[in-house]
Structure 1
Amino acid sequence: MLRELPSDEDRRILQEAVRGFFEDLWDKAAQVPPRLWKQLAAQGLTQIAASPAEGGLREIVLVQEEAGRASCRAPLADAALINLMQLRARSDAHALTSLVDDLHRGDAVVVVSFAGFDHEGAAGSAKMESDRLIAALGFVESADIVTHLAIFVPGPALAIINTSEGVTPEPTPMMGKAGWWRVRIDAVPIVLVPFTDAEVRDLLTVAAVAETARAFGAAQRAFEQAVAYAGERRQFGQPIGRFQAIQHKLANCHIALRAVQPTIANAAAQYDLEAAQWRWFAAAALATASGSLRQVSLETQHAFGAIGYSEEHEAPRHFRQVHVSLLRHGGQRPPVEQLASHFLDRDGQVRFPDYDLGPAGNAFRREVRAWLDAYWSGERRARHEQLSFREREYDREFARALGMTGWIGLNWPKRFGGQERGAFEQIAFMEEMEHAEAPRAGAPVQAAMLQVYGTPEQQQRYLPEILRGDAIYGMGYSEPQAGSDLASLKTRAVRDGEHYVINGQKIWTTTYWGEYMLLATRTDPNATPPHAGITMFIVPMTTPGITIRPSETMYGGTFANIFYDDVRVPAENRIGAEGEGWKVLTGALATERGFIGGGIVLKAAHIFELLCEHLRTAEHRGSPMRHDPLVRARIGALAAEIEAGRRMMVYCAEQVDKGETPPDEAAVSKVYSGELMERFGETALDLLGPEALLSEHSPGAVLRGRIEQMLRHSLMWVISIGTNEIQRSLIAQRGLGLPR
């Protein structure tokens, strides 16, 4: 039965209160005298997770993030662990109950150690000899004020001792600064509280998530400081934040932080909700954070330059905190191995855990899955899979069958014939379509453009065709001298009575074989700024004057150079007013980028699952590949990266459901997912070797050549719809507020 826990609003209020408290004590937070501990207790921060009303792991994570921002080394997470233990301990654990009462009053300061249960060895060692506890603990924080130690020993059991006798602390500076101790214990008497192995493993995972949240808070604070500094520090006559190198460095940091935060938040939420897969989500969060936050801390220091190297600045404190927190409970190796085990050590079909998409989303997932099992299976799917990649790109029969379900208009308003389903139902649809390897269908960008900017006549004419699966659109944007810089496009559209006459050239146009082209033209060559003179048109591809010159792409598909020579298009085909094309065009691109990030990461997730299925039975030189340490390390790391991409997808969906589509957030998802696909392809080739280079229909091709083909295709996602370099500039300028 799920516990009643605080709401999102409760957590927002808690975060504001904790941040305000630490801001008042900013210079003192790094030191923890007993008086400060009493103040923390008075604020209720030693009572987090003591009862359902006091929260769970989400509240622990929130407080830890704020502690990380403030460089506070008070053992607040240890207090929360004790509270969780008291909730789940046996009814006869009177010693634990008594300790909790002292902890809440601020009379006790407790540090929890997993020394007798930590197989990585980072926490030290602990064992019972007769009635004595013999231990050598590492990574003990604030040993100078600790009154009690709670140590897990083999059994397992929790040994609670008072530090007043039999305890010898020895300062062990870490990364050049004090604050940590090695503690030797030869103590009697002690109190033992029994636990199970599973309970201790779960508590160790909770402790690791909490410490990772503190590392995130430290990294986030240092990053925010670096962004502010980049906007103020001047070199060569301008703020350094105007230089592209700094903008892209900080954009990379922002992307990494956006990958980490939702994975930690999701792990905490899954634990609080007692979800069966919470340990998997926790492993993904820990693995993602371990590499990403340390890289962010390095890049942040680079952005600060010499000023951040001074101990007078707060940046060094955050740099240390990130590294110590992430390594305290074993670092990246344990969670990566856990993820690898999930995908390599189990039989049958193994997928990424399904998200709870809410009642409507979950029900729709089942509905889509059932339809695909019935329609897109057997001989029909088998015939499709025998086609070349180019031939598989679009299937009109499938599009029309899907049109009969109404799902092409999944998120359309009902007044246009749509179903007005939410973003999480759209995620369910995308997931199932990708897993079934179904062909794409519909024209979502063009449909959205028509619904917002089209005339009633255009909506009545074109939208039903799209909804039925009868029409497909290309997008005529790029030109020889106008790729990412679309405002420089030259293709002219000149008004001639009730028509426009179009002349120009478009390049790299995909879906040129569709019924229509969504064409960007210039109607005012003298407009200032240049994007003010752009107008959009729907151009039927059978219109006289259009010359198509297809070109095979590196990834096995095609695009085309298209020439428009005196092409006459009725004025009624114009979308929006003359000169409003930039607004129409950029709005559509923002929509596409928001969905494309999720689409790419779902492709990566599916091909990753297929790769793991292959590795579970493959051998290299007579040995099972799934036992190879390199294979396991790379697979676990990839699983974590893909999960971070999935969380970004969910975040974008949440924003859509709120009626928001921030272009910088869409850019974050697009950049991360496209480059993830590249990393996946290169990693898979490393693991599989030369045979993975064999293309489809080649004898012996691994996974029918999908790995190498997807690597070639991944290049398109990084370049198209605005290159990732342009997207990084957008993130830096719009998302981070750096100068243009």
Structure 2
Amino acid sequence: MLRELPSDEDRQILKEAVRGFFEDVSDKSAQATPWLWKQLAAQGLTQIAASPAEGGLREIVLVQEEAGRIACRAPLADAALINLMQLRSRNDARALTSLVDELHRGDAVIAMSFAGFDRGGAAGWAKMDADRLVAELGFVESADIVTHLAIFVHGPALAIVEAGEGVAAEPTPVMGKAGSWRVRIDAVPIVLVPFTNAEVRDLLTVAALSETARAFGAARRAFEQAVAYAGERRQFGQPIGRFQAIQHKLANCHIALRAVQLTIANAAAQYDLEAAQWRWFAAAALATAAGSLRQVSLETQHAFGAIGYSEEHEAPRHFRQVHVSMLRHGSQRQPVEQLASHFLDHDSGAFPEYDLGASGNAFRNEVRAWLDEYWSGERRARHEQLSFHEREYDREFARALGQTGWIGLNWPKRFSGQGRGAFEQLAFMEEMERAGAPRVGAPVQAAMLQVYGTPEQQRRYLPEILRGEAIYGMGYSEPQAGSDLASLKTRAVRDGDHYVINGQKIWTTTYWGEYMLLATRTDPNATPPHAGITMFIVPMTTPGITIRPSETMYGGTFANIFYDDVRVPAENRIGAEGEGWKVLTGALATERGFIGGGIVLKVASMFELLCGHIRIAERQGKPMRHDPVVRAKIGTLAAEIEAGRRMMVHCAELVDRGETPPDEAAVSKVYSGELMERFGETALDLLGLEALVSEGAPGAVLHGRIEQNLRHSLMWVISIGTNEIQRSLIAQRGLGLPR
């Protein structure tokens, strides 16, 4: 049975209380002192994780983030680890019981060391010599105020000694400042507490996560200051935060910080919930953070410019904290190798399934069973022999899926939909990608019709979408209006009961469908320009439409489409005249929340196929999976994909709460699209020239899917708003930088 743990509301209250406390003592918090320790104890922070009611790893992470923000060096994480070990249940020595009580009151300050168990080797060594503990420890924090040291020795066991006779501490400046100590011990421990090797490894992982949380707090605080500085600092007559270079730099930092925040939070939650895969999620979080936080720290300093060099500013101490914390329990190497082993050393290596809740999990099984029955055997094999363009859409499959009603799984029931939530939609996307099924439906068009369509339009068009019978293209981009839709030129002029449309659309995919959702300008003099846009449903059989297809570099097609005196009934207008911008952006809001998720699911599927190939492939007579370079790249990719999956789940959580923040969807889309590119390039590095052989040719690795995936990835970075536009959106709407 799971322990009764604090709720999300409890954690929010704790966060606000801790931040408020640190703000009140900010002038005394950087340097750990006995006074500060007593104050921390009075706030109950030395009791975190002492019992289920006092929290678990999520609470430790929360407190560490707040400590990182204020550059607090007090050993709160060490106290939490002592609490988490439940030492009194392992050894009922009176001295130990008294010590834990003193820790909670703030009368004892305990610093921990994993000594020889530490992954990086810099923590030093410790051993028992008869009844004495002999040790030389590196990088001990707050050794000048500790009353006790707790050190893991081989056995394994936790040895606790009093600071004093037989314990000598020597300051070791780190990155130019004091704060770390080398400690030599030759003393009799007051108690020895037995552990298993597995327990020590798990505690070390917890310690690494808590340090990573402190690094995240420091990086996040410096980043927030850099954003505020960019909004205020003026150069060339305007705030530097208006410059695209600064906006995009800070948007990149925001994306990286979101990846770290989500993966740490998930790892901590999985630990608290005693999930079997928590170690995997922890490795992914540690591997993600190791490079990301240090890069954010560098970019933040770049944004500050010379002001960030000054020791009078906060930035330098946050820079130090990030680097110290990320190396304290070892580098990125160990968690990356752990991820690589998961995928390369086991035939069943795959990404762990998320718990999507009772309804989401049940629906996942329902969809999986349907796909296993309908989309398997000869039908699926025949489909996979087709070219990429032919695989993209399958009308027979769409009609079969239409019979399930799942095309409208998230539609309101008044439109004959199933009214399912975001996590059921996520389950559907996962299973469709797992099975390699073709895309179906017209989600953006359906959303537009449900919100802005007339009752007649809804009765006419929605049922055929739901049945899998109608296919829609999206007529947006023009020669001079790609991402800048507000400048489109295609005109629609009212003529009685019709509109007459003239213009050109380019890069139009799904041009072969029954309808085009067409953006036009009905008022050329509107101010602002987007106020003059109107949307129409245009049947593609309408006279005056000329389609000129063009093959894409990724094996698909798009078209230049010319509209010459195309007459469309006024009843085909969606929304009022001039409201096209609202119609378009409103319908895209929710769907954009899942775009990044759809991309990352494709990457995850291809990654698993790549790992399956590497597990059996050889290079120069040696198994590829044993190559350390291969393992490092696979482990790194696994961590990056997991961060993208967490962004996908985060967007689903927001949608489930009725929120559709465009900046969060943009974060997921930018990250996932560029991840798809990185995956393709990395896969080619690993597989070599043979991986460039395309589908249908003899010897094509994985049927040519790797190189085709790379070519296709370019579309996801450019389409649905280029990533540069998305970065500007993140900076302006998410971070509040000036437009």
Residue of structure 1 in register with 2:519 after alignment: 520
What residue is the counterpart of 1:630 in the other structure? 629
Aligned to 1:657: 656
CA distance in 2, matches of 1:738, 1:455: 38
After superposition, what is the alpha-carbon deviation per residue over 1:218-240, rounded to whole angstroms, capped at 9, x for unaligned?
00000000000000000111100
Quote how far apart the aligned CAs of 1:351 are. Answer: 1.4
Match of 1:535 in 2: 534
How far apart, CA to CA, are the structure 2 residues paired with 1:673 and 1:119? 31
The residue type paired with residue 156 of structure 1 is P
**Offset from partner CA, 1:400-425 (integer Å, 9 cap, x none):** 01001110001000000111111011
5+ residue gaps, structure 2: none
Distance 2:122 2:398 in 1: 56
> Which digits, 9 at most, give the CA deviation of each residue in 1:677-732, with x for residues without a partner?
00000011111111111110111111111110000000000000110001000110
Match of 1:356 in 2: 355
* Matching of residue 442 in structure 1 with residue 441 in structure 2: yes
Deviations 1:549-595 (A, max 9, x none): 00000100000000000000000000000000011112233333221
Question: What's 1:548 paired with?
Answer: 547
What SS is found at the alignment partner of 1:696? Answer: coil
Structure 1, 132-141 or 231-240: larger mean CA deviation: 132-141
SS in structure 2 of the partner of residue 520 of structure 1: strand
Partner of 1:157: 157
CA 1:714–1:88 in 2, change beyond 3 Å: closer, same or farther? Answer: farther
What's the Cα RMSD here? Answer: 0.9
Q: Distance in 2 between matches of 1:99 and 1:557?
A: 69
Q: Is the 8 A contact 2:601 2:645 kept in 1?
A: yes
Query: Residue 89 of structure 1: CA displacement?
Result: 4.4
Shift of 1:198: 1.1
Could you tell me how far apart the structure 2 residues matched to 1:590 and 1:512 are?
A: 23
SS of 1:150's equivalent in the other structure is: strand
8 Å contact 1:132–1:190 — kept in the other structure?
Answer: no
CA distance in 2, matches of 1:374, 1:124: 58
Structure 1 residues without counterparts, runs of 5 or longer: none
TM-score, reference length from structure 2: 0.99
Counterpart of 1:179 in 2: which secondary structure? strand
The correspondence of residues 563-582 of structure 1 with structure 2, limited to 5 A, is 563-582=562-581
Q: Distance in 1 between matches of 2:479 and 2:242?
A: 28
SS for the counterpart of 1:535 is: strand
The TM-score normalised by the length of structure 1 is 0.99
Q: Tell me, in whole angstroms, the C-alpha distance in 1 between the residues paired with 2:708 and 2:652.
A: 29
Q: How does 1:52-67 map to 2 (within 5 A)?
A: 52-67=52-67
Contact 2:172–2:178 (Cα < 8 Å) also in 1: yes
Q: Which runs of 4+ in 1 moved over 4 A?
A: none
1:311 maps to which residue? 311
1:248 aligns with 2:248: yes
Mapped partners of 2:613, 2:189: distance in 1: 55
- Secondary structure at the aligned position of 1:306 is classed as helix
Q: How does 1:135-534 map to 2 (within 5 A)?
A: 135-347=135-347, 349-534=348-533
**Cα-to-partner distance string for 1:527-567 (whole Å, 9 max, x where unaligned):** 11110000000000000100000000010000000000000
2: CA distance, partners of 1:105 / 1:88: 16
Secondary structure in 2 aligned to 1:127?
strand
Q: CA deviation at 1:88?
A: 8.1
Does 2:114 correspond to 1:111?
A: no
CA distance in 1, matches of 2:178, 2:583: 58
Structure 1 position 119, deviation (Å): 4.1
Asked if the contact 1:116/1:151 (under 8 Å) is kept, the reply is no
User: Is the contact made by 2:493 and 2:501 (CA closer than 8 Å) also made in structure 1?
Assistant: yes
Rounded to whole Å, the distance in 2 between the matches of 1:660 and 1:591 is 8
What letter matches 2:706 in structure 1? I
Distance, in Å, in 2 between the alignment partners of 1:93 and 1:523 is 83
**1:96: how far off?**
3.5
Residue 79 of structure 1 aligns with an amino acid whose one-letter code is A
Deviation track 1:142-180 (CA, whole Å, cap 9, x = no partner) reads 110011111111111001100112111111111111000
**Structure 1 vs Structure 2: percent identity of aligned residues?**
89
CA contact (8 A) 2:408 2:418 kept: yes
State the shift of 1:116 in Å: 2.8
The alignment status of 1:41 with 2:33, answered yes or no, reads: no
1-side partners of 2:735 and 2:150: how far apart? 43
2: distance between equivalents of 1:85 and 1:591? 44
Quote the Cα distance in structure 2 between the aligned partners of 1:96 and 1:429.
Answer: 53
AA partner of residue 649 (structure 1)? M
1:667–1:731 contact (8 Å) kept in structure 2: yes
Distance 1:336 1:715 in 2: 27
CA contact (8 A) 1:93 1:193 kept: no
- Per-residue deviation, 1:87: 6.0
Which amino acid is 1:211 matched to?
A: E
Q: Please state whether the residue corresponding to 1:178 is helix, strand or coil.
A: strand
**Cα offset for 1:63?**
0.3
Q: What one-letter code is carried by the residue in structure 1 that aligns with 2:722?
A: T
Conserved? CA contact 2:119–2:334, under 8 Å: no
Equivalent residue letter for 1:580: E
1:116 partner SS? helix
CA distance in 1, matches of 2:685, 2:566: 50
| Preserved contact between residue 477 and residue 485 of structure 2 (Cα < 8 Å) | yes
Distance 1:116 1:2 in 2: 33
Per the alignment, residue 130 of structure 1 pairs with 130
CA deviation after TM superposition for structure 1 residue 97, in Å? 2.8
Give the conservation status (yes or no) of the 8 Å contact 2:160–2:189: no
Q: How many residues align?
A: 739
C-alpha displacement of 1:611: 0.5
Q: Any idea what the Cα deviations from partners look like across 1:494-534, whole Å, max 9, x if unmatched?
A: 00110000000000000000000000000001111110000
